[in-house]
Amino acid sequence: MYRGKSITELREALDKEEITSEELFNEANKLAHDFQEDYNSFVTIIDDYKIKRRADSTIAGIPYALKDNFSTAGILTTSSSNILKDYVPVYDATVYKKLKKAGGVLVGKTVLDELAMGGTGTTGHTGIVRNPWDKERMIGGSSAGSTSSVALGIVPFSIGSDTGDSIRKPASFGGVVGYKPTYGLISRFGLFAFASSLDHVGVISRNVKDSAIVTDIIKGKDSNDMTSFDSSNINLVDSLDNDIKGKKLFYIKEICDKELYKDSNDEVLNKVLDDFQELIDKCKNLGFEVEEVSIDKSLLEAIYPTYMSISCAEATSNNSNLTGIQFGPRGEGESVEEIMFSARTKGFSELIKRRFVLGSYILQKENQDKLFLNACRVRRLIVEKITELFKEYDGMILPASGGIAPKFNDTSEKLSSRYLLLENHLAIGNFGGFPSITIPFTFVEDMPVGVNITGRIKDDALVLNMANKIESVTGYKDIYSKVGEENV
């Protein structure tokens, strides 16, 4: 069994001819099928082994999973929406093309929250995705299946997209590493757009080095994506073990202050914040300088409404082609408007309909300045504040979440300080396009919780370098849910 092995371990086993690539694929394929009923990680599981071997690629012959909002020619690509349930693209996303060229072996396309809008993993058209550590809990979203496939040990890495925290929050709930790079480091050509100014392609793995390995392969300028940039001077793997002594981190007082949440009597939250302070001490022992900074609480509480305003407006525009005419099952009606109305009513879940209605309202001429442009102004204020801090500090460190993965029947008060501060600050990385990575750092009630490190634009090498050092003292490198192994 090679379940749960890292890319480096699998590469060594392949090079020593202890196992073949086809045997690895078959094992991953079997695991994908075995866990599908209970966890629902995949929309499509690939059953035919196909590979073009490249001896100079670290991932040659190694299986992986791909979020189902990346275009794959000849392979069903649904974005977990009924309106695209039968869509088979005719072209490959740049990321998929690069992974194929490097010899990576696709095991399957993974479930997401419909059209990547959502953070629960419960709105995909094929059903909910369950957390490998506890089936009664969410894995988070929108990169739900990509995260669970790695957390289950089916594949060593997967590709996801991150618009607000869609890689990094599920990574926290799933006990894995979730990395969202600098905006434009990885091409988005072939990724179905959600909110174009916020969308990032990223990697989910079980250790920081594996994320660096994969990103070095798929990054780079792409003529099909005008936001991509030349990153030939950025080498993530080579920078992982650089000395971090004297590097400065900050955390935000208003997010980590237990006094702010004392009325909630939340033991899980208190444990997360206590463990976070213990991690800060470990960081100082590693050689980091770590300081507490204060940011206007009203600015931090504006992150969530700002994100919702911008993302819903951009999503409404980006998905205007999903009419039931160009894509999706044809609706019923006597006119184009009636056909579109019918197709969208049947093709979208209630959550998506609400977001599109909200986005359309925000974009109405009479509302644009008050709602959309004001949200853009607040976004600028937040980015300017963090950028100012990055002139003095090398990175920001915060708990990725205030607690463990919620149960499916849990509800959250979306106007509470806990929700607005602890559950939404990861969107800062999307607002500014900052490189940002979540790694597991503690367990509470037998469930994993992650810590997040965010850094300066194009300083991905340093962010991963710092995360790699912190990972070395957490004790949670290369973990995965070993569910099912008792039967092996």
The C-alpha torsion from 474 through 172 and 44 to 74, rounded to 10°, is -90
Buried b (16+ CB within 10 A) or exposed e, 163-198: bbbbbbbbbbbbbbbbbbbbbbbbbbbbbbbbbeeb
Question: Catalytic residue at 142?
Answer: yes
In 3D space, the residue among 88, 179, 172, 44 whose CA is nearest the CA of residue 450 turns out to be: 172
Backbone angles phi, psi at 444, to 5 degrees: -130, 125
Q: Terminus-to-terminus CA distance in the chain, angstroms?
A: 9
Question: Catalytic residue at 100?
Answer: no
Residue with tokens 């009924």: 82
Q: Give the whole-angstrom CA distance, residue 385 versus residue 480.
A: 37
Residue pair 212/240 in contact by the 8 Å Cβ criterion: yes
Residue pair 463/453 in contact by the 8 Å Cβ criterion: yes
Active-site residue identified among 21, 80, 166, 417 = 166
Q: Give the whole-angstrom CA distance, residue 244 versus residue 193.
A: 37
Active-site residue identified among 21, 41, 142, 231 = 142
Alpha helix ranges (H) inside 287-373: 297-301, 303-318, 336-347, 350-363
261: amino acid identity, one letter: Y
Question: Could you tell me what percentage of the chain is helix, strand and coil, using 3-state DSSP and rounding each to the nearest 5?
Answer: 40, 15, 45
- Identify the bridge partners of residue 440 per DSSP, sorted by sequence position: 450
Active-site residue identified among 5, 67, 97, 169 = 67
Question: Catalytic residue at 67?
Answer: yes
Residue pair 180/436 in contact by the 8 Å Cβ criterion: yes
Q: Give the whole-angstrom CA distance, residue 173 versus residue 149.
A: 13
- Residues forming the active site: 67, 142, 166
